[in-house]
Amino acid sequence: MSKNVMLTKEAGKALGDMLKANSVLKELDVSSNYNLNAGSWDGAGFALGIADGLSTNGALKNLNISSNGMEQLVMPDGWTDRMAGRTFRLRSGTKRYCHKDGRVQDSIPEGSKPEGFIALANAITSNGALVTVNVMGNSMGKEQLSKLQEITQGHPTLISLCGIADDATEADLSGLGMDADDAAVLADELPTKGALEVLNMSNNNLVCESGWIDQDAHGFKEGDMVEHEGVQSLVSSATSFSYKVMMMHGLVALADAISTSGAMTKFDISANGLYAAGAKIFAEALSGNKVLTEVNISSNSIGHKDWRGASDMSGVIAIGNAIPTIGAIENLHIGSNGIPADKMHEIMAMCHSKPSMKVLCGVPFKDKTITELDVSGKNLGVEGAVVVSNYIENNGAMTSLNVSNNNLGGKSWDNRKGEAIFDLSGIRALAAAIPECK
């Protein structure tokens, strides 16, 4: 029942009534129903309805309620954070709260409560049959997630807030909107998932920007590294009296957990906005790993310092240094990361010299017998184009090539200049190589 645009109080009540009456259902997936434009945004009301039924249901073992906007506060009468059906935010990203009498303020109205979360937490406590609940991607925040973790520790049957059974061999947490706090919860659970071989974390927001941190005369400027949540984090914005950071604590915790996993062979962390600083953290987790065979770190802008587009090769260098030490690696995807062609040639050389490596950016570069190569929709970027061009030059058997639906032009955005930037080196290399395909 996921992605059904039913995030309303009425839908939650209907599901809650169903749970009250049902004594057979073992699994329920009501994830990813948040859709602001379709009016499906009442995560608190939805959670209240489901919680009412969940508290008395004795049969349900697995509940997926991820990515439903359950962080929403229930505010006193007359207050809202929405205007004309849209969340109203300042240009800084901070919410602005509006009253029907015309008052407007930036602070949360007094008396506001996360009632959906409170009801869900109470229902989980009362339900004695649940084994897994997936609450990821709800922007609950560290405090609320910590409370759920405490409940899990004292619960007779509940073992996961990420929806992962202890004997699971695969876990797909892609596209849930998980943030740094969610990643930290997952990291806490991974040591108990000894059978987990495949973990997909793609298309989340593991390295996310904090809210404004007030501190008079802090002296920080954009690009500085400061301590936040116990780890060094990049200052992304700064004024005279406040600043924001790119929160790294979840990624640090996750990297530590991955580095000690004895069973994990495939890990996908693509499209998570790691940038250079995040890539360096992840590189530490990869270094010396003897189990991973497949890693996808594509679409993370690791060749850039941050979202403004400034070049920073420190993350690329760190990943490059880690590659020779990953003992079992066979398949590495590093495309669409803002890595220039010269640096990509260096990475290719490392992969060519590593006996275990077979696939780079979706290209089986050591197999010279392939006649048809389809790498469409693989987020190749300039990096993948360079790999494909090199493969064409060294494969005389190629008769068919599909590179559609990729960002071969390496388009990125320079926020400092307010303009798009294109790197055509990959396309040029590909165009020059195609005549060699005979």
Q: Is residue 1 pLDDT above 80, yes or no?
A: no
Paired tokens of 236? 């992304």
- What pLDDT is attached to residue 98? 86
- What pLDDT is attached to residue 279? 96
- What pLDDT is attached to residue 80? 80
Paired tokens of 253? 């915790």
pLDDT band at 93 (very low <50, low <70, confident <90, very high): very low
Q: Angle CA(251)–CA(254)–CA(258) in degrees, nearest 5?
A: 135
The string of pLDDT tens digits covering residues 209-232 is 888 888 887 889 888 889 888 888
- What's the whole-model pTM score? 0.88
Domains of the chain listed by start with CATH number: 1-74+113-163 (3.80.10.10)
- What pLDDT is attached to residue 414? 60
- What pLDDT is attached to residue 40? 60
| Contacts of 383 by beta carbon, 8 Å cutoff, 6+ apart | 334, 335, 336, 337, 339, 344, 347, 361, 426
pLDDT band at 396 (very low <50, low <70, confident <90, very high): confident
Region for 222 from its dihedrals, namely left if φ exceeds 0, alpha if ψ lies in -120 to 50, beta otherwise:
beta
The torsion defined by the Cα of 93, 85, 181 and 33, in degrees rounded to 10, comes to -150
- What pLDDT is attached to residue 6? 64
The string of pLDDT tens digits covering residues 136-188 is 999 888 888 999 999 999 999 999 999 999 999 999 999 999 999 999 999 99
Which range is most confident: 239-253, 349-363, 394-408?
A: 349-363
Paired tokens of 275? 């940038």
- What pLDDT is attached to residue 133? 97
Amino acid, res. 173: L
Q: Is residue 316 pLDDT above 70, yes or no?
A: yes
| Contacts of 161 by beta carbon, 8 Å cutoff, 6+ apart | 133, 134, 135, 136, 145, 148, 149, 152, 185, 189
Rounded to an integer, what distance in angstroms lies between the CA atom of residue 267 and that of residue 202? 9
Least confident of 18-27, 77-86, 315-324: 77-86
Q: Is residue 330 pLDDT above 60, yes or no?
A: yes
Q: What percent of the chain has pLDDT over 70?
A: 89
Question: What separation in angstroms does the CA of 277 have from each of 88, 222, 248, 307, 389?
Answer: 31, 14, 9, 12, 29
Question: What separation in angstroms does the CA of 269 have from each of 134, 152, 207, 352, 377?
Answer: 19, 26, 11, 23, 17
Question: What separation in angstroms does the CA of 338 have from each of 23, 153, 225, 286, 291?
Answer: 53, 43, 22, 20, 28
